[in-house]
Amino acid sequence: MAAQKSVQPAPDTTRRSERSRRAIYAAALELVGEVGYPKTTIEGIAARAGVGKQTIYRWWSSKADVLMEAFLDLAERTARTAGQEPHTVPDTGDLAADLKAVLRATVDELLAARFEVPSRALAAEGVVNEQAGRAFVAKLLEPSLQLYVDRLRAAQDAGHVRPGVDPRIALELFVSPLAQRWLQRTGPISHAYTDTLVDYALHGIGTCPPAPPERGTVGA
């Protein structure tokens, strides 16, 4: 009786592709943090990831695309690790609490080395490289800012924000100071700092104006 030839299972190309993709993400983020955006190359990413550069070009058209996708993936995984739902601003009905929760999570990300190093490199490159800057804004910044816009509009609908307020401008009251302080290292960032930004943005810093005089009492 002839011996039966054992049948080997077919390789799982999906699992292999996912491993390669993860390796490429990690390599791209490590390199941009170590040598900066200009010196990061597709060849360098491929070598560190242990894949052929044709593998990278099969999925992405440029190193900018690789880095942006890797960064988005990092942000999503960081949020999930912190117990946050990525790509959302919560709506519990308490606007101040919701904004504070998201900004606290943002502080945690900005202070984490694995997030801070590549994000600083990408942000710095975006200042001097118009194409990289546009990609950074379009793929990373604007989608995040739109989440704040949507939450503030929901607050307007609920009567918690004045009808005439422009949400796109309003969000800059708490987002922009945090970004500036982090980028320029003008001071420490913390949960207490972003909580204060939200309080100042929602409640203002001036005293309440005096009530207008009742009709008939002017000049009395």
Give the residue-averaged pLDDT of 196-219.
Answer: 73
Handedness of CA 31, 74, 133, 170 (dihedral sign): negative
Question: CA 153, 154, 160, 162: dihedral to nearest 10 degrees?
Answer: 20
0.85 surpassed by pTM: no
Residue 103 located in a structural domain? yes
Count of alpha carbons within 13 Å of 92, Cβ hemisphere only?
10
pLDDT, position 76: 81
Q: Is residue 171 part of a domain?
A: yes
Give me the CATH number covering residue 137. Answer: 1.10.357.10
Is 8 a domain residue?
no
CB contact at 8 A, 55 and 20: yes
87-126: per-residue pLDDT in tens?
688 999 999 999 999 999 889 888 988 888 888 888 888 8
Q: How many contiguous H segments (helices) and E segments (strands) does the chain have?
A: 11, 0
Structural domain of residue 97, as residue ranges?
63-203
In the chain, the number of structural domains is 1
Residue 125 covered by a domain: yes
> Which of residues 76 and 50 earns the better pLDDT score?
50
- The confidence score (pLDDT) of residue 214 equals 56
What's the Rg (C-alpha) of the chain? 24
Whether 148 has a pLDDT exceeding 70, the answer reads: yes
Using one digit for the tens of pLDDT, what is the confidence trace for 156-204? 999 999 999 999 999 999 999 999 999 999 999 999 999 999 999 999 8
Would you say residue 1 lies in a domain?
no
143: in domain: yes
Indicate if the pLDDT at residue 20 is higher than 90. Answer: yes
Residue 132 has pLDDT above 70, yes or no: yes
CA distance 206 to 186: 24
Separation of alpha carbons 156 and 106, rounded Å: 24
Residue 58 included in any domain:
no
For residue 100, is it within any domain? yes
The pLDDT value given to residue 120:
85
Whether the Cβ atoms of residue 164 and residue 146 lie closer than 8 Å to each other: no
